[in-house]
Homo-oligomer: A and B are copies of this chain.
Amino acid sequence: MSDAFEADRVKIEAQLDAICASDVVASLPGRLGEAIRYALKSPGKRIRPLLVQLSYRAAGGAGDSSLLACSPEVIHAYSLVHDDLPCMDNDDVRRGRPTVHKVFGNRVAILAGVAMIPLAVRTVRGGALKLDLTSGTTSSILEVLLEGAGAAGMIGGQLRDLSGERLALSLDERESIHAAKTGALISASVWMGALAAGAADAELKAFGSYGRAIGLAFQIMDDVLDITATSSTLGKTTGRDAALGKSTYPALLGVDGARERALSLIDDGLESLAQHGLLTQELTQVANFMVTRTS
């Protein structure tokens, strides 16, 4: 996927650099700013920013959405910092590097994570200003982002995921947890781009279906990769889900069954965009990447 979106990725990395170099981060006390930079600039696929940019273009947007696009990445990065904490998933390695709390300690990791939530809000506001959006649209975008990040979305999903360790969950339960934990923010990213481009209600609905489908497919493949990939390819400890006794997709459907489920979700998502004449080659490519990725 890397070549097709090179220009978008370059802009995203530049905006992430600018966020880290901004006064509000740079002037932070202690190692807080350093920890935020470490978390934000950790090598990543930048799926969420890409989705904002691509759905913005698919919905007819012609401006530079790269700053706005970084806002869900800031939320995503904070969630990884907290996820890795000893009292959460207790992970030492993330994207091939020691996790934030291993480098900066638990205290700084918790505070840096929390500080990234208002930073994401500030990024939405800056990004909206750059695109000359109305206060009303900015406000809707912010709401979508915070819904995705909030208790009903990612945070709730995290707790249910942690609580589900060593429990036998049904496929429906697993799906609902995943929809919340990872899917909510991925859907939100798609939705934010479409909102920024001024998409109409019916179009927003189609983007919503696409976003939910690829979000879930992404998480299913995360489960699959936890089994099939090696730690060095994935950049984090593999085999953890099984060790924690989680009812993952492969545990419920087998590796092949899980892959098929992901493929069928992608098909549905693309179909809903196609029906509204919104399907672009870029959005197809990203969706396919979700199920073919190896890390």
A: residues with CB less than 8 A from B are 24-25, 27-30, 32-33, 36, 82, 85, 87-88, 105-108, 110-111, 113-115, 117-119, 121-122, 125, 134-136, 138-139, 142-143, 146-147, 149-152, 155-156, 158-160, 162-163
Contacts and interface: CB of A to CB of B under 8 A. Distances in A.
21 contacts: A25-B151, A28-B152, A28-B156, A29-B156, A29-B163, A32-B155, A32-B156, A33-B151, A36-B151, A88-B107, A107-B162, A108-B159, A111-B155, A115-B151, A118-B146, A119-B150, A122-B146, A135-B136, A135-B138, A139-B139, A142-B142
Given A135-B139, A143-B125, A114 B155 contact: yes
Nearest to A24: B152
A87 B115 contact: no
Q: What are the 5 closest A-B residue pairs judged by CB atoms, nearest first? A: A118-B150, A135-B135, A115-B151, A118-B146, A87-B106
Nearest to A147: B118
A274 B149 CA distance: 43
A218 B146 CA distance: 31
Contacts of A88: 107, 110
A115 B146 CA distance: 10
A163 B30 contact: yes
B117 A114 contact: yes
B121 A142 contact: yes
Given A107-B159, A156-B32, A24 B150 contact: yes
